[in-house]
């Protein structure tokens, strides 16, 4: 029952209720405490003035007071009533249970009457200390509020049930044991509180003080007070008004405001409300029982969390210690290799030092001996040994010249430790993969039918498994370096398709993808092997008389002179591998279960002696494969070009809207292999100086090509040409361009050279040498020039033959 004690204490004084009254808001307050927190209101707010104006409709008029009117919710500790300017601002106080209350504007007059009989000031206002609802009292004052006799009875029973010694009711902190009880005040006192609050003088001298035990008995034996009507104090409650929800007396039904209301017997309504309260308590009891069980569960969770924390911490320490031990073992192994290399280098160098020291000693001895021989004055004796000495000197000199003075060992250690993957793994080491309640996404599936390569670009597509229930927040695509090196992240995002540009030609790349969410990352998908563009087949058409052969239709279109057919890359644009010539294509899984590769196996295009005859020509045409060369098909790139560049013809033709030179790059970059492309001059007015060549991706786009160190170019007018790089002009060569001219650019990254051609003739010497890195085809022009790009072309014959000879 001690948990109920807070329900039995006044929110103002913090002690058990004494003569509690019920406010209209259903909260309780001691009658004496209610008198202490009364505040006088202006005359305009009185009930009489409201009734005179027709605004009052009830006995209790609630005030619409905001937070700054009667009291303040702020922590300033002050509150004031703003109804009239003359009202003084009084500090607010706090009751023992923390409720802010307001003292009266002036101390109440000294009186010997009981609190119920003390007159209340006219136009008084009271504010509930719990819900802060304010109301103005009528002429009856505090007598207009009903007294809570039930609460008084509960308090009496509670106090009687306490087996411990009676405590003082006026001690502020730790109540002391009561020594006396005043029958008139009905209060238990300890000695200090009795001397301070109930001195034996004045009117209090007539009060009767009894021992606490006798006072408890007298309380128990005192007759229960009967509840009387607030409007008719001499009448007891006999009926219950259903409309007003309050007990009333007989006179209220005869002549009061309840005369027209529905009423019921007080005993019947008492039993009914008791039944309703019991039913409500049943539901609340169930919730309380659930709350107790929940608290037990939470306390068990606290203990379990502590145990799991200790266990998890021990596991984590063990795992980290295992990693540290493995790293230390590997460190010892690597240090052993370094020490072995160190000893080997020292041994080689020391052996060479010893060998050179012996040889130098012999050489020095021979030199000193020869000098002494030269000092001899006997010609015949000198000539007897001079030939042998000369041969020995030459032989010794030759011995020093055969790499003897070159160190056999370098000082550098040819060992390189790449710890970046391990550091990345350490940085990514987290607990997320250990959360079973929130799983990681499923492993993505590569969609082979949508994956393809084009020139040196690769497009990959993937999706989540059909039955996957764990959503992925994004994906990580990784590619190796084309030489079987480490994987690198090339894309991180939510999309399920990605195109990677700038790859090496004729190279094999491994690609894989994984999904991630807040919990962690999935396993890698199967590794997909990609092959960038490899070769082109050049077919030479030779007409020949063949009257014996049957008329046949070639399995692919045959041009009149020669037709370049691009060999299908390992991924065609749709992966519906239907080559335009006889052959077959198939998927092949490698032996590794985590790698899959797409190969294109083409049958021989022409067996020896095979020929075909078209339906429209009397001659059959023999198709011979002359050569296979690495080539690329590409166009100009609008994304990286200057804004003044104008594109047409599927981005193969460009011109400019400005009189100043502007730069445009090709979409494809080259880093190895031999590549050749041409540009035809469609329009050439007023003798401008267009420039052709290669450049880095970050070349300046608003100046002539070759003005900075990011471009290597040939600029040409109608009479001559120059090579230019980093604004350095070299190799002036006669011969210019006109409308219809063809400019060829040959980039040989195998030999690291750049060569230019005009109308199939080499223009000047090799323009640039030692070119290394990634290069993009580039052109600079103004509005007086328009050019068209031609790609996928073979290397000129004379250059191929020269390269084969070299």
Tell me: the pLDDT tens digits for 239-291?
888 888 888 887 887 777 787 888 888 888 888 888 888 888 888 888 888 99
Provide the pLDDT confidence category of residue 587 given band limits of 50, 70 and 90: very low
How many angstroms separate the CA atoms of 338 and 158, rounded? Answer: 87
**Cα–Cα distances in angstroms (integers) from residue 487 to residues 481, 484, 507, in the given order:** 7, 9, 15
Tell me: the pLDDT tens digits for 23-82?
888 889 898 888 888 876 655 445 445 544 444 434 444 444 433 333 333 333 333 333
Instruction: Report angle CA 42, 48, 49 to the nearest 5 degrees.
Output: 60
The backbone region for 734, taken as left when phi is positive above 0, alpha when psi lies in -120 to 50, beta otherwise, is beta
Tell me the sheet residues that pair with 21. Answer: 29, 147
How many angstroms separate the CA atoms of 736 and 673, rounded? Answer: 29
Tell me: the pLDDT tens digits for 685-739?
888 999 999 999 889 999 999 999 999 999 999 899 999 999 889 999 999 999 9
Other CB atoms within 10 Å distance of the CB of residue 148: 18
Q: Residue 496: pLDDT above 70?
A: yes
Tell me: the pLDDT tens digits for 364-407?
999 998 998 898 888 888 888 888 989 989 888 888 876 678 88
Q: Residue 151: pLDDT above 90?
A: no
CA dihedral 33, 37, 38, 41 (to 10 degrees): -170
pLDDT score at 547: 39
By three-state DSSP, how is residue 143 classified? helix
By three-state DSSP, how is residue 589 classified? strand
Tell me the sheet residues that pair with 189. Answer: 180
The alpha carbon dihedral of 257, 262, 264, 269 has a sign of negative
Question: Hey, which bits of 179-300 come out as E strands?
Answer: 180-182, 187-189, 209-210, 239-241, 246-248, 263-265
Q: Residue 199: pLDDT above 60?
A: yes
How many angstroms separate the CA atoms of 229 and 249, rounded? Answer: 6
pLDDT score at 53: 47
Q: Half-sphere exposure of residue 50, counting CA atoms within 13 Å on the CB side?
A: 19
Provide the pLDDT confidence category of residue 121 given band limits of 50, 70 and 90: low
Spell out a b/e string for 249-264, using b for 16 or more CB atoms within 10 Å of the CB, else e.
bebbbeebebeeeebe
Spell out a b/e string for 562-588, using b for 16 or more CB atoms within 10 Å of the CB, else e.
eeebbebbbbbeebebebebebebeee
Tell me the sheet residues that pair with 670. Answer: 775
How many angstroms separate the CA atoms of 2 and 16, rounded? Answer: 13
For the whole model, what pTM was predicted? Answer: 0.35
pLDDT score at 540: 37
Q: What one-character-per-residue DSSP string does 14-74 give? A: -SB-SSEEE-TTS-EEEHHHHHHT-EE--GGGSHHHHHHHT---SSSEE----TTTS---S
How many angstroms separate the CA atoms of 450 and 587, rounded? Answer: 14
Q: Residue 444: pLDDT above 80?
A: yes
Instruction: Report angle CA 580, 584, 590 to the nearest 5 degrees.
Output: 135
Q: What one-character-per-residue DSSP string does 416-476 give? A: ----HHHHHHHHH--SGGG-TTSPPPPPPEE-GGG-EEETTEEEEEEE--TT--S--SEEE
Q: Residue 153: pLDDT above 90?
A: no
Mean of per-residue pLDDT scores for the chain: 76
Tell me the sheet residues that pair with 788. Answer: 653, 680
Lowest mean pLDDT among 328-337, 531-540, 653-662: 531-540
By three-state DSSP, how is residue 3 classified? helix
Q: Residue 626: pLDDT above 60?
A: no
Q: Residue 106: pLDDT above 50?
A: no
Of the candidates 65, 43, 66, 45, the residue with the CA atom closest to the CA atom of residue 56: 45
Q: Residue 557: pLDDT above 70?
A: no
DSSP secondary-structure letter at 2? G
Other CB atoms within 10 Å distance of the CB of residue 35: 20
Q: What one-character-per-residue DSSP string does 725-739 give? A: ETTEEEEEEE----T
Other CB atoms within 10 Å distance of the CB of residue 711: 26
Tell me: the pLDDT tens digits for 651-679?
999 999 999 999 999 988 888 888 999 99
**Cα–Cα distances in angstroms (integers) from residue 748 to residues 569, 631, 692, in the given order:** 22, 11, 16
How many angstroms separate the CA atoms of 471 and 495, rounded? Answer: 13
Q: Residue 784: pLDDT above 50?
A: yes
By three-state DSSP, how is residue 267 classified? helix
Tokens representing residue 738 in the block = 């006109």
Specify whether the CB–CB gap between 239 and 263 falls below 8 A: yes
Tokens representing residue 499 in the block = 């195109």
Q: What is the CA radius of gyration of the chain?
A: 54
How many angstroms separate the CA atoms of 372 and 365, rounded? Answer: 11
By three-state DSSP, how is residue 159 classified? helix
**Cα–Cα distances in angstroms (integers) from residue 6 to residues 10, 158, 173, 178, 308, in the given order:** 8, 12, 15, 21, 39
pLDDT score at 803: 59
Specify whether the CB–CB gap between 718 and 681 falls below 8 A: no
pLDDT score at 733: 92
pLDDT score at 494: 92
Q: Residue 681: pLDDT above 90?
A: yes
Question: Hey, which bits of 567-630 come out as E strands?
Answer: 584-589, 595-601, 612-613, 620-629
């Amino acid at each position: 029952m001690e948990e109920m004690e807070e329900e039995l204490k006044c929110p103002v004084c913090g002690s058990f209720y004494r003569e509690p009254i019920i406010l209209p808001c259903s909260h309780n307050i001691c009658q004496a405490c209610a008198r202490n927190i009364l505040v006088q209101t202006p005359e305009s707010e009185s009930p009489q003035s409201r009734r005179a104006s027709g605004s009052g409709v009830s006995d209790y008029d609630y005030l619409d007071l905001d937070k700054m009117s009667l009291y303040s919710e702020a922590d300033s500790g002050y509150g004031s009533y703003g109804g009239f300017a003359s009202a003084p601002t009084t500090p607010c106080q706090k009751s023992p249970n923390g409720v802010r209350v307001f003292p009266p504007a002036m101390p109440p007059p000294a009186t010997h009457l009981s609190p119920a009989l003390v007159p209340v000031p006219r136009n008084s206002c009271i504010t509930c200390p719990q819900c802060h609802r304010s109301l103005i009292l009528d002429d009856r004052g505090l007598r207009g509020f009903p007294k809570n006799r039930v609460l008084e009875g509960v308090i009496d029973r509670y106090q009687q049930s306490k087996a411990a010694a009676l405590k003082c009711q006026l001690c502020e902190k730790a109540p002391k044991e009561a020594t006396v009880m005043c029958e008139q005040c009905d209060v238990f006192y300890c000695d200090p509180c009795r001397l301070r609050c109930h001195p034996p003088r004045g009117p209090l001298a007539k009060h009767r003080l009894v021992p606490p035990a006798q006072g408890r008995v007298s309380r128990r034996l005192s007759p229960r007070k009967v509840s009387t009507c607030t409007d008719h104090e001499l009448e007891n409650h006999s009926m219950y008004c259903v409309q007003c929800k309050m007990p009333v007396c007989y006179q209220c039904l005869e002549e009061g405001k309840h005369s027209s209301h529905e009423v019921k017997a007080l005993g019947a309504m008492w039993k009914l409300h008791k039944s309703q309260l019991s039913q409500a308590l049943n539901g609340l009891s169930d919730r309380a029982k659930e709350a107790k069980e929940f608290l037990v569960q939470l306390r068990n969770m606290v203990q379990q969390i502590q145990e799991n924390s200790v266990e998890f911490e021990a596991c984590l320490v063990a795992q980290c210690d295992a990693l540290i031990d493995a790293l230390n073992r590997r460190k010892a192994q690597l240090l052993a290799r370094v020490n072995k290399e160190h000893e080997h280098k020292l041994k080689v160098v020391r052996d060479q030092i010893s060998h050179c020291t012996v040889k130098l000693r012999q050489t020095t001895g021979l030199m000193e001996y020869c000098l002494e021989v030269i000092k001899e004055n006997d010609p015949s004796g000198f000539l007897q040994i001079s030939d042998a000495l000369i041969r020995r000197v030459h032989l010794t000199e030759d011995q020093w010249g055969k790499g003897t003075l070159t160190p056999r060992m370098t000082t550098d250690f040819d060992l390189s430790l790449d710890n970046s993957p391990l550091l990345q793994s350490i940085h990514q080491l987290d607990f997320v993969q250990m959360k079973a309640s929130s799983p990681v996404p499923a492993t993505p599936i590569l969609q082979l039918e949508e994956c393809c390569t084009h020139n040196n670009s690769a497009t990959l597509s993937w999706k989540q498994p059909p039955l996957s229930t764990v959503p992925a927040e994004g994906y990580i695509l990784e590619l190796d370096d084309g030489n079987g090196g480490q994987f690198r992240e090339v894309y991180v995002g939510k999309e399920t398709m990605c195109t990677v540009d700038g790859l090496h030609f004729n190279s094999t790349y491994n690609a894989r993808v994984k999904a991630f969410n807040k919990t962690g990352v999935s396993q890698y998908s199967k590794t997909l092997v990609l092959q960038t563009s490899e070769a082109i087949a050049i077919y030479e058409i030779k007409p020949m008389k063949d009257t014996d052969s049957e008329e046949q239709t070639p399995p692919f279109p045959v041009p009149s002179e020669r037709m370049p057919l691009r060999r299908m890359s390992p991924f065609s644009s749709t992966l519906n591998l239907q080559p335009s010539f006889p052959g077959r294509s198939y998927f092949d899984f490698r032996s590794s279960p985590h790698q899959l590769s797409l190969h294109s196996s083409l049958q021989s295009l022409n067996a020896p002696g095979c020929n075909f005859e078209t339906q429209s020509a009397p001659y059959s045409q023999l198709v011979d494969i002359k050569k296979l060369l690495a080539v690329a098909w590409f166009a100009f790139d609008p994304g990286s070009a200057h804004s003044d560049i104008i594109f047409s013809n599927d981005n193969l033709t460009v011109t400019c809207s400005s009189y100043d030179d502007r730069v445009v790059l090709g979409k494809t970059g080259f880093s190895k292999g031999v590549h050749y492309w041409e540009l035809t001059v469609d329009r050439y007015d007023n003798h401008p100086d267009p420039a052709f060549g290669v450049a880095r991706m970050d070349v300046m786009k608003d100046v002539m090509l070759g003005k900075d160190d990011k471009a290597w170019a040939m600029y040409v007018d109608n009479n001559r040409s120059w090579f230019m790089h980093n604004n350095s002009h070299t190799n002036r060569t006669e011969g210019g361009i006109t409308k219809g001219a063809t400019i060829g650019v040959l980039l040989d990254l195998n030999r690291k050279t750049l060569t230019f051609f005009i109308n199939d003739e080499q223009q000047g010497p090799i323009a640039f040498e030692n070119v290394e890195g990634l290069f993009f085809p580039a052109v600079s022009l103004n509005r007086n020039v328009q050019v068209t790009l031609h790609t996928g072309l073979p290397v000129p014959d004379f250059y191929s033959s020269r390269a084969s000879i070299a």
